[in-house]
């Protein structure tokens, strides 16, 4: 017996690649598990019947090693996971400072100027070895409710209490609890949108997901008038949206956000708002520390159908803690607790306790001020550098740490997001192709015609040195293809 050689990662190409070499960018995607193009079949179609009969014969002749996973279907990976897998195949590893990771969907977690200190160790009590309640420990739920009341409910009669808060082990877990609680309903969402929504809107079969595409002609903005029209004309009972928006970085705030809440109230439509980037706001430099939430415009916290998702992950730069929350009317929160009992069982007990001091309103305000100052600096640097490379961002982000980059000015085939991404990997720069944000529940649409193929998402979440490394790699690529000199 001879031992099979250990597979080696693909080696980055040092020579200039021809355009034809990048025609297989889509093949890489289609060959990855869960991303194969869905085949359509029709009853009583002769070709399909013959194909089925051939498959039956093939099943009987299979070896055990070729059995596959009977009864299981491999779900597609999210965009960030796919691009990191491809980068790994090209030699990327965590901590490799020769790469610039603009695909990162998380903020830098190290110290930044003027931010509060986060604990590097925690002391535990004996009771923390026990399971925490599925809805979270009461003291943390109270801390979250108090933060929202101080930030958004001053002077209002209706206040949030601990019963309006459900603690969840991460944003995806929160979204999953929400989706598991949605009944037979039409659920609206807007494109482009956060990549994890695709699987979420696919695996739960009771509701019908209905997309509404947005484009650069409207600055990827959903006016209250359009929101009302979508709800009315499509019979939506639930609307799910990220605000601030991932990936475009756009923001609904002020009077327009107030109208969104009013529309939800008057049409009796549940509004699920992913507010994970509510501290990354760049529209009020004169009002440092200002955060944005629909909670500000709720009349009655137990009546208005507004469900908010947020947490420690982005706004407190603690993605590894997986401590997040859902805020909404008590009846919704009861549903979230019930769904969590059979989904994931609840969040980490010790880290729930460790999160409480960080949510003290004065600490949260100090951290928001530091975060906005630091990330506004990185935003300015990346936008300015892209401008120097003749890649003008026509619709700069108002919030988040993402830039939605239009590749239309680049020559063929690099104006395609997947092709551009593969080319960037050869220069040790990682981004996320726009096609992944054209979320496609059930793979019902052919993404080969996606209007977002000509875009990529760039993250300025990583530290500044890494951003500089990645932009140097982008500059090398643009010089190689003759776009920039």
Question: What is residue 73's predicted lDDT score, i.e. its pLDDT?
Answer: 75
Question: E strands, 124-260, where?
Answer: 165-168, 186-191, 208-213, 238-242
Distance of alpha carbon 13 from its chain centroid, rounded?
A: 31
Cα–Cα distance, 275 to 364 (Å, whole number):
15
For residues 304-325, b (16+ Cβ closer than 10 Å) or e, as one string? bbbbbbbbbbbbbbbbebbbbb
Phi, psi of 456 (to 5 degrees): -135, 155
pTM for this entry: 0.88
Question: What is residue 199's predicted lDDT score, i.e. its pLDDT?
Answer: 76
For residue 250, give the nearest of 394, 106, 378, 397 by alpha carbon.
397
Per residue in 247-271, pLDDT (tens digit) is 999 999 999 999 999 999 999 999 9
Residues of the chain with pLDDT under 70: 1-23, 26, 30-31, 33-67, 76
Question: What is residue 266's predicted lDDT score, i.e. its pLDDT?
Answer: 98
Question: What is residue 10's predicted lDDT score, i.e. its pLDDT?
Answer: 53
Question: What is residue 12's predicted lDDT score, i.e. its pLDDT?
Answer: 47
Q: Two tokens at 114?
A: 């003027």
């Amino acid at each position: 017996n001879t031992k099979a050689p250990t597979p080696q990662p693909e080696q980055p190409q040092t020579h200039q690649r021809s355009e034809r070499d990048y025609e297989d960018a889509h093949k890489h995607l289609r060959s990855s598990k869960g991303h194969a193009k869905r085949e359509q079949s029709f009853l009583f179609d002769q070709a399909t019947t013959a194909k089925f009969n051939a498959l039956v014969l093939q099943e009987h002749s299979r070896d055990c090693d070729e059995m596959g996973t009977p009864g299981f279907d491999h779900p597609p990976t999210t965009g960030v996971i796919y691009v990191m897998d491809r980068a790994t195949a090209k030699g990327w590893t965590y901590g490799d400072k020769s790469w610039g990771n603009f695909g990162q969907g998380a903020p830098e977690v190290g110290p930044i100027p003027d931010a509060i200190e986060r604990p590097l160790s925690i002391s535990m009590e004996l009771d923390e070895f026990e399971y925490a309640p599925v809805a979270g420990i009461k003291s943390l739920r109270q801390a979250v409710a108090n933060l929202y009341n101080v930030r958004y409910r001053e002077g209002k009669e209706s206040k949030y209490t601990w019963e309006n808060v459900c603690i969840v082990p991460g944003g995806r877990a929160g979204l999953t609890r929400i989706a598991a609680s949605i009944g037979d309903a039409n659920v609206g969402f807007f494109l482009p949108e956060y990549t994890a929504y695709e699987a979420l809107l696919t695996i739960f079969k009771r509701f019908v997901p209905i997309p509404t595409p947005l484009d650069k002609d409207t600055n990827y903005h959903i006016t209250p008038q359009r929101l009302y029209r979508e709800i009315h004309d499509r019979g939506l009972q639930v609307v799910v949206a990220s605000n601030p928006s991932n990936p475009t970085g756009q923001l609904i705030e002020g009077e327009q956000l107030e109208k969104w809440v009013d529309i939800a109230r008057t049409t009796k439509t549940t509004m699920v708002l992913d507010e994970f980037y509510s501290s990354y706001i760049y529209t009020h430099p004169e009002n440092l520390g200002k955060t944005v939430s629909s909670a500000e415009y709720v009349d009655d916290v137990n009546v208005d159908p507004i469900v908010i998702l947020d947490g420690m992950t982005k706004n407190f730069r603690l993605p590894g803690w997986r401590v997040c929350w859902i805020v909404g009317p008590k009846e919704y929160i009861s549903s979230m607790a019930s769904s969590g009992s059979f989904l994931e069982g609840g969040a980490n007990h010790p880290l729930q306790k460790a999160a409480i001091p960080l949510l003290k309103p004065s600490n949260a305000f100090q951290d928001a001020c530091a975060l906005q100052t630091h990330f506004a600096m990185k935003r300015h640097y990346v936008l300015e550098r892209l401008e120097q490379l003749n890649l003008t961002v026509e619709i700069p982000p108002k919030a988040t740490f993402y830039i939605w980059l239009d590749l239309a000015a680049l020559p063929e085939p690099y104006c395609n997001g997947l092709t551009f991404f593969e080319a960037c990997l050869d220069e040790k720069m990682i981004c996320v192709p726009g096609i992944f944000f054209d979320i496609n529940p059930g793979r019902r649409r052919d993404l080969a015609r996606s209007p977002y193929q000509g875009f990529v998402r760039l993250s300025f979440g990583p530290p500044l040195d890494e951003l500089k490394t990645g932009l140097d790699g982008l500059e090398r690529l643009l010089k190689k293809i003759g776009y920039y000199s």
